[in-house]
């Protein structure tokens, strides 16, 4: 499994850019990432059909490289999601 060359977050534009080895650049919106949060709480909410609770204006305020993936802190206070790199690669 590959890990990104770089991760660039812009809370101004609301976009997270992930650069992979080989030149692929992923551009993900903060709202999209919030809606796909892989933590147990959010997965359970999605199973109950509550994906609509995500505010598209939500912003990522901090990203933390956890080695096997990216911990993402959102402006709504949610910080429990750690997105494994393979999961990130499969988004968008």
Residues in the site for Zn ion, rule: CB under 5 A?
37, 39, 42, 81
**In whole angstroms, what is the distance from residue 64 CA to residue 28 CA?**
16
Shortest spacing between CB 56 and Zn ion, in angstroms: 16
Shortest spacing between CB 68 and Zn ion, in angstroms: 17
| CB closer to Zn ion out of 5 and 91 | 91
Shortest spacing between CB 42 and Zn ion, in angstroms: 3
């Amino acid at each position: 499994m590959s890990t990104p060359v770089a991760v660039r977050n812009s809370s101004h534009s609301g976009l997270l850019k992930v650069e992979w080895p080989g030149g692929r650049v992923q551009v993900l919106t903060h709202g999209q990432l919030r809606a796909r949060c892989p933590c147990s709480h959010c997965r359970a909410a999605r199973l109950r059909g509550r994906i609509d609770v995500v505010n598209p204006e939500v912003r990522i305020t901090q990203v933390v490289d956890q080695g096997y993936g990216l911990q993402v802190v959102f402006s709504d206070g949610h910080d429990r999601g750690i997105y494994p790199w393979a999961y990130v690669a499969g988004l968008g």
